[in-house]
Amino acid sequence: MKECVLNSRRVLALSEQWLSRWFEWKDINQIPNYEGCGVYQIRLANAEGFPVEIPRFIDTDKEGILQICYSENIKRGIYRFLRATEGKKYTHAEGERLQLLKKYTNFTERYKGCRMQYLYKEQLNRREARVEQERLLKCYVKKYGEVPPNNNNFPNKHIDWENLLDSNTTKPFTFPGVIYDISSNL
């Protein structure tokens, strides 16, 4: 997924290191030691650790992203997600949703031998983590036409869609050949 940035002084004032400090993909069973705020992504990977492509509405997600979340405590968030996917009594809506899919659909059979991985990015505080999650979700929606399969909410609060920019240019984030005016609410 392309990294997106906002055209706003507040976000651009953060150090380049802070904006791009994603840790490496790790197996979901390797719970991180980081207990601070941040955003994290969970993806589906094959037995060799490579992402599993997931068909989406507009394009195929070659990174296999299942969800994009934020947490005040990354260690606790990933731990609760993992335990909820195993059917344990932990409160994590996305983990519970994935557990239901595993239990009542052909998810386990279809993705046999696959595993989940995560990566995370530290944030200064809860609000910054929430805003970063929303920015990442909007970038995902702009590319694939919908949120990742395990996310529930369509982003719309903190970040202006019109000012969401592709990090490689100063032009709005667009996808050539895929321009539809579906709704003025998007």
Q: Please report, for the domain that includes residue 99, its CATH number.
A: 3.40.1440.10
Tell me if 182 is assigned to some domain.
Answer: no
- Written as six digits, the tokens of 41 are 């992504």
Question: How do residues 119-158 score in pLDDT, each as one tens digit?
Answer: 999 999 999 999 999 999 999 999 999 999 998 776 665 5
Question: How do residues 89-111 score in pLDDT, each as one tens digit?
Answer: 877 888 888 988 888 999 999 99
Tell me if 180 is assigned to some domain.
Answer: no
Domain count, the chain: 1
Tell me if 181 is assigned to some domain.
Answer: no
Tell me if 21 is assigned to some domain.
Answer: yes
Distance, CA of 136 to CA of 39 (rounded, Å): 9
Tell me if 152 is assigned to some domain.
Answer: yes
Domain containing 103 equals 4-166
What residue ranges in the chain does DSSP mark as E strands?
Answer: 4-6, 26-27, 38-45, 54-55, 60-61, 65-71, 115-122, 164-166
Tell me if 76 is assigned to some domain.
Answer: yes
Question: Does the global pTM surpass 0.85?
Answer: no
- Written as six digits, the tokens of 161 are 């869609």
Tell me if 178 is assigned to some domain.
Answer: no
What dihedral angle (degrees, nearest 10) is formed by the CA atoms of 34, 39, 45, 47?
A: 0
